[in-house]
A and B are shown apart, each in its own frame.
Chain A
Amino acid sequence: MSVPAAPADGPEKPSFSAIFTRDLGYVWMSLRRLGVPNRDLEDLSHDVFFRVYQRLSDYDAARPFRPWLFGFCFRVASDYRRRFSNQRELLGAELEPIDPSPDALDRLLQAEATSLAQLVLQSLELERRAVFVMHEIDGCPIPEVADALGIPLNTAYSRLRLAREQFAEGLRRERVRRGERC
């Protein structure tokens, strides 16, 4: 299946097809790091690229592309979490047969985590996790993180600090729980 063409690209902007081919893996991985379970990665990857398609004309080619793309992943993952937590309030017969308890998503993600680091990463608050992933894993400078997520620079620094503390504390607690030495 061919990938859709871009709506209106400038000459220096990457084409939508090229973005899809090059960055699908990055989107997939970012969504996973932002707490989307494996079963929904395909749907949400589609949603990310659909939004990218709609907004590609807004992209400023002078700025780095991946932080801009991560912004879409963050918003889609954020909508997803909100929808997931609202799902049990809906009426009708079209509900997915999910565990209706509030922390069902967290439990699902914990079961999918393949390492201690992943498990602890999933325990971070989404807003902090986004900053942490962008900066600590993707290596994105904090001003770019703030810009991509649409938050003030100080907020980005503050979220990073809190995420680091929470990550370190999560590692320590999980090791104690497992009976490992800290």
Chain B
Amino acid sequence: MLNFDEELAQLRADVAVPDEDATRRIAARLSRSIGAPAVASGTPSPHGFPRFRSLQLVTSFVVGGIVGAGLYGALRAPRVERVYVQRPPAPSQPMVSSAAPFSSAAPVTSAVLAVPPLAPPPLSSARSTALASASAAGDRSASLAEQQALLDIARAAFARADYSATLRTLDSHSARFPKSVLAEEREALQIKALAASARLPEARSLAARFQARHPQSLLLPSIKDSVGAIP
């Protein structure tokens, strides 16, 4: 017979509650997580923060946001495209003919320009063109694999509820592959990670952009599920 009534009574009697400071901090964080529009504007809270104080905070936030956005737009430096080129170890004749021209508009991967360390025999023009296109296809598939691998790392972080690591990995993904074919998946995961890490206003704003950009996306239902409602 299991009898532990005394211990159960001890457990029931053991009541610890957060102190007033902790309560206020949790309420403040909740207000920030949920967003300014969700902050109650009714009666004063039981913790002594009157209504006008909330209004003051909201007004400062809105005015600051507008001024900040204006300054950002006016002072933003023009975007600089980066091109990564791997230099060959020693100067020699390039293998790539005019069939694979180097353009500064599109990032060029290193393998296209790489030169083998030993000087190869001269190639015919047709053969070098074929080699260059095979190499470019290989690059694309390697790059896709790399994009997928990085996204998988972010997904794994999300699965173990490490949302800050998820967002960091996704930031690095979008910095390295700004026009990735996996951008839709990346954005969806970013929205879910933001929502799960209590940054609902940002998540909702990105969700609205996502919906406008991908109205037929299969990922929309799960996004809606994570942010509640898309504005």
Name the segment of A98-106, A111-119, A141-149 touching the other chain.
A111-119
B8 contacts A2, C-beta separation under 8 Å: no
B198 contacts A42, C-beta separation under 8 Å: no
Query: Contacts A24-B26, A47-B198, A115-B14: A3 and B40 contacting too (C-beta < 8 A)?
Result: yes
Interface bin, chain B: 35 or more
B30 contacts A24, C-beta separation under 8 Å: no
Q: Determine the main DSSP class of A at the interface with B.
A: helix
Q: How far is the CA of A3 from the CA of B96 in the complex (A)?
A: 65
Interface bin, chain A: 35 or more
Q: How far is the CA of A168 from the CA of B165 in the complex (A)?
A: 41
B46 contacts A21, C-beta separation under 8 Å: yes
In the assembled complex, A70 has its CB within 8 A of some CB on chain B: no
B40 contacts A41, C-beta separation under 8 Å: no
A54 contacts B228, C-beta separation under 8 Å: yes
Name the segment of B31-39, B124-132, B134-142, B182-190 touching the other chain.
B31-39
Most buried by A among B26, B31, B51: B26
Closest A residue to B21 by beta carbon equals A42
Contacts of A136 in B (CB 8 A): 8, 11
Contacts of A5 in B (CB 8 A): 38-40, 42
In the assembled complex, A60 has its CB within 8 A of some CB on chain B: no
A40 to chain B, nearest CB (A): 12
